Chains A and B, each alone.
Chain A
Amino acid sequence: MNQPAPAPSAPTLPVSLAANPKLSSWLKFSSSGEVTVSPGKVEIGQGIVTALAQIAADELDIDLARVQMIRASTAVSPNEGVTSGSLSIQQSGRALRHACAEIRQIFLRQAAERLGVGIDTLHIEDGIISGPGNLRTSYWELADEVSLDRDATPGVTPKIATSRTLAGHSVQRIDIPDKVLGRPRFIHDRALAGMLHGRVLRPEHARAQLRELNEDGARAVAGLVAIVRDGSFAGVVSETEHGAEVALNALRKGATWSDGELLPDENDLASFLKAQPSESTVIGKKTAASSGTVARTIRRQYTRPYLAHASIAPSCAMAQWDGDRVHVWTHSQGVYLLRADLALVLNLPVENITVEHLEGAGCYGHNAADDVALDAVLLAKSAGGRPVRAQWSRQGEMSDAPFGAAMAIEIEVDLDARGEIIDWRHSIWSNGHAARPGRAAQPALLAAFELENPFPRMVSTNPPQANGGGGDRNSVPLYDFPSWHIESHRLTTMPIRTSALRTLGGQGNVFAIESILDEIAAERGEDPVAFRLRHLRDERAKDVIRAVAARAGWKPEKLPGIGHGIGFGRYKNTGAYCAAIAEIESAEEISVRKLTLAVDVGEAINPDGVINQIEGGAIQATSWALKERVRFDRERITSTSWTEYPILRFSEVPDVKVEIIQRPDMDPVGAGEAAHGPVTAAIANAVFDALGVRVRDLPITRDRIIAAMDLS
């Protein structure tokens, strides 16, 4: 107990490696010249698997083609929690780099001993270890005599940045050829021997209970294997997918539901959010050394609607029981976390459950991947040991999966007589932005709430500020204002299910902060770029703003109907820096013609991969900002198809230019969520530049612009 605290300078292991120190759990060498790398993070369309392979190959001095990446599974992989928060490069990347550096040293020591030379005389090239003269051996030759069943030790020094030959250079992603050639790579395309197909019935009205179920129609459908019912959870299992669909439709006709629960008024989200019971937390407080005299206070309210993940593929999973053990195939972001929740629902020890990852379509946060896994597990109980594949419908994906939480944000700024900011107050009302599986004593999976003996519905919470926060993410200003007070009100009721969607509250908060700053700068008649630079102390922040301004030729000439705006943020205040300039055109609707971005992710492992992520984030943010809004009436979600939940189309996509500020000596951070906030704000500010009107409620549609004009 009374151990002395470690010296402040004592080296520590990267967090994922500290949690999973056994080197052999990360890497294996074969005598035939391959290295298998087994990260706990998963491919969700972001290219992480390639970046991790680059790091490993680089540190080991082997050709990238020798690296085989293993998909995460609770049977074999290190437990790295969840693939989220743009943390995979930070967590898995650092752990792998450290593990590989240590393993390289272990092999070098073994080689030095075998060859009878000093370790400093050895050199590795594509796994061949050579010494003076013709002395040589290799990882592959030594593979059987070197044991990696040992714990990683702190203090290993990876290569210096200038010695890296792969990390920092663009390489082709290793998953892309399969996807372009139409080879079965997605979970949706995998067929297991003897596989059956399942579908689950869900109510149209929010949280309605299943009162009666006439099964006759479904029983008459050819190929039916089982009808499963447990409380309000009901589903079918069929020999064929088509049979499952037909049986589900028949079952739907035979279902009688209770009334559902009342949903909020979609046209007055701010009032709803502010009226709910909530838990308030002071997120940040800064007190001024000397306060100026307040000449004027401006207060603005911003809102963001509920947003759908709206993945192109409906969620899918497979499950197979063997006695009291079950194997699950899933596109979940966290195989261990899903396993923990399954264990709660099934009342089984985790050892009885194996959860294995297979790729799904693009994942932007906590979608229905985990829910459908429990669906498959429950349906497979009635399948006599055969595997069952469950898949949601488009409608289910758009209405039953968790949404990104709606937000109301109020910022109040005190200005002195010269229009300078002297105090800043930022308040957020929102449901929590995280209700992920595997983190609570209760499961977070949809079917668990529907069972005869249901688990209570989880109310979303927010990750702590130390982990980037939730609704409060990016709410603490990056600017050097004299004083501020930041407060978050997390709702303790949750009529609409919310959980993690890309950036959590970051997009809403950056939109609000960057909008009001722009307004203050405009009122002062000060250039918004200069205004931001004047209030920043962090040189990396200033650099991305200067870079984007230079690249976009700030400020471009003013033309009728065209507007330009800027937005800036540092994701989570600790991650990637990103500045964006939008050029919009105002006609019948707003269209974004061009986005210019500058980004600093520290060391960019795969620069083209970073550009791809930033481009994708920028385009998705444009879609959120201009078009997206979950629609509902008082009884049900109504935006259940692509017609009712439109996203940006090819003809509407802006030209996107991305500049990376490469910093090889800085720790790498993720890029997937850096662009959303800055781009949203840049678009809103460009709309003001074009039209002279501030739209403070997302999405920025024609109706919203007219409403904002009426107000002003």
Chain B
Amino acid sequence: MPSVRFRLNGVELEIDADPDRSLLDILRGHLGMTGPHFGCGAGECGACNVIVGDRAISACDTPLWSVADKDVTTIEGLGTSEQPHPLQRAFIAEQALQCGYCVSGILMSAAALLRRNPSPISREVKEALDRNLCRCGSHNRMVRAVLRAAEEMAAE
């Protein structure tokens, strides 16, 4: 079995698996990491989004080989209970979800946006989240939360 090396949430990993398997399958199935969620398996909903390099991508249609030697960040690497990421704090403050199944992917899209653009305007947030689907209709709260996090990060 060939192996693929990459950094997951800052930790070097070597995975022995078919390199054509999806990154999501490796994260959830192989590594038991359940933050990224399966939604469609076709890169259409964003529930499984992770950050590779500085871009949010859907892990379900990303083959393992393509992340070789790259940095992968999942929701588990974004913040912790003790030290939540400003985005996570803002999502709690704004109560920016209903069911929350889409949220881990949305947080990763938002985190990637804030890395590229630390002070986005509302339209830019919506554009950055446009490939993420939310079925409960919590979009506006999420946009507010991202703007709030950006402000908070700028003040730090």
Would you call B130 an interface residue if the criterion is a C-beta within 8 Å of the partner chain's C-beta atoms? yes
Provided the pairs A180-B88, A181-B84, A181-B88 are in contact, do residues A45 and B37 lie with their beta carbons within 8 angstroms? no
User: How many Å from the CB of A171 to the closest CB on chain B?
Assistant: 9
| Interface hits, B70-121 → A, CB 8 Å | 74-76, 78-81, 84, 88, 91-92, 95, 97-104, 107
Q: Are A647 and B135 in contact (CB under 8 A)?
A: yes
Would you call B133 an interface residue if the criterion is a C-beta within 8 Å of the partner chain's C-beta atoms? yes
9 closest A-B pairs (Cβ-Cβ)?
A: A45-B99, A619-B137, A179-B100, A182-B35, A182-B75, A362-B99, A616-B137, A361-B101, A189-B34
Q: Are A182 and B130 in contact (CB under 8 A)?
A: no
Determine the main DSSP class of A at the interface with B.
loop
Can you name the residue of chain A whose Cβ is closest to the Cβ of B91? A180
Which of A77-85, A308-316, A505-513 binds B?
A308-316
Residues of A within 8 A of B97 (CB): 176, 179-180
Residues of B within 8 A of A313 (CB): 37-39, 47, 101
Q: Are B129 and A641 in contact (CB under 8 A)?
A: no
Seen from chain B, the residues whose Cβ lies within 8 Å of a Cβ on chain A are 21, 25, 28-29, 32, 34-35, 37-42, 44-45, 47, 74-76, 78-81, 84, 88, 91-92, 95, 97-104, 107, 125-127, 129-130, 132-143
Q: Are B39 and A312 in contact (CB under 8 A)?
A: yes
User: How many Å from the CB of B138 to the closest CB on chain A?
Assistant: 6
Provided the pairs A182-B74, A186-B37, A312-B135 are in contact, do residues A173 and B95 lie with their beta carbons within 8 angstroms? yes
Q: Are A312 and B134 in contact (CB under 8 A)?
A: yes
Partner of A650, one of B41, B98, B129: B129
Can you name the residue of chain A whose Cβ is closest to the Cβ of B35? A182
Q: Roughly how many angstroms separate A613 CA and B97 CA in the complex, as a whole number?
A: 10
Type the 1/0 row for A170-205, where 1 means its CB is closer than 8 Å to any CB of B. 001101110111111110110100000000000000
Q: Roughly how many angstroms separate A391 CA and B88 CA in the complex, as a whole number?
A: 28
Can you name the residue of chain A whose Cβ is closest to the Cβ of B128? A650
Residues of A within 8 A of B104 (CB): 179, 182
Determine the main DSSP class of B at the interface with A.
loop
Residues of A within 8 A of B129 (CB): 650
Provided the pairs A179-B97, A181-B80, A616-B138 are in contact, do residues A394 and B40 lie with their beta carbons within 8 angstroms? yes
Would you call A527 an interface residue if the criterion is a C-beta within 8 Å of the partner chain's C-beta atoms? no
Provided the pairs A44-B99, A312-B102, A394-B39 are in contact, do residues A176 and B92 lie with their beta carbons within 8 angstroms? yes
Q: Roughly how many angstroms separate A191 CA and B84 CA in the complex, as a whole number?
A: 25
Q: Are B44 and A653 in contact (CB under 8 A)?
A: no
Would you call A655 an interface residue if the criterion is a C-beta within 8 Å of the partner chain's C-beta atoms? yes
Provided the pairs A45-B100, A619-B139 are in contact, do residues A651 and B127 lie with their beta carbons within 8 angstroms? yes
Q: Are A181 and B38 in contact (CB under 8 A)?
A: no
Would you call A393 an interface residue if the criterion is a C-beta within 8 Å of the partner chain's C-beta atoms? yes
Residues of B within 8 A of A32 (CB): none
Residues of A within 8 A of B126 (CB): 650-651, 653
Q: Roughly how many angstroms separate A182 CA and B88 CA in the complex, as a whole number?
A: 10
Would you call A418 an interface residue if the criterion is a C-beta within 8 Å of the partner chain's C-beta atoms? no
User: How many Å from the CB of B102 to the closest CB on chain A?
Assistant: 5
Provided the pairs A242-B25, A312-B134 are in contact, do residues A172 and B95 lie with their beta carbons within 8 angstroms? yes
Would you call A521 an interface residue if the criterion is a C-beta within 8 Å of the partner chain's C-beta atoms? no
Can you name the residue of chain B whose Cβ is closest to the Cβ of A185? B100
Would you call A642 an interface residue if the criterion is a C-beta within 8 Å of the partner chain's C-beta atoms? yes
Residues of B within 8 A of A391 (CB): 38
Residues of B within 8 A of A400 (CB): none
Q: Are B39 and A180 in contact (CB under 8 A)?
A: no
User: How many Å from the CB of B73 to the closest CB on chain A?
Assistant: 11
Q: Roughly how many angstroms separate A623 CA and B44 CA in the complex, as a whole number?
A: 17
Provided the pairs A181-B84, A186-B101 are in contact, do residues A620 and B135 lie with their beta carbons within 8 angstroms? yes
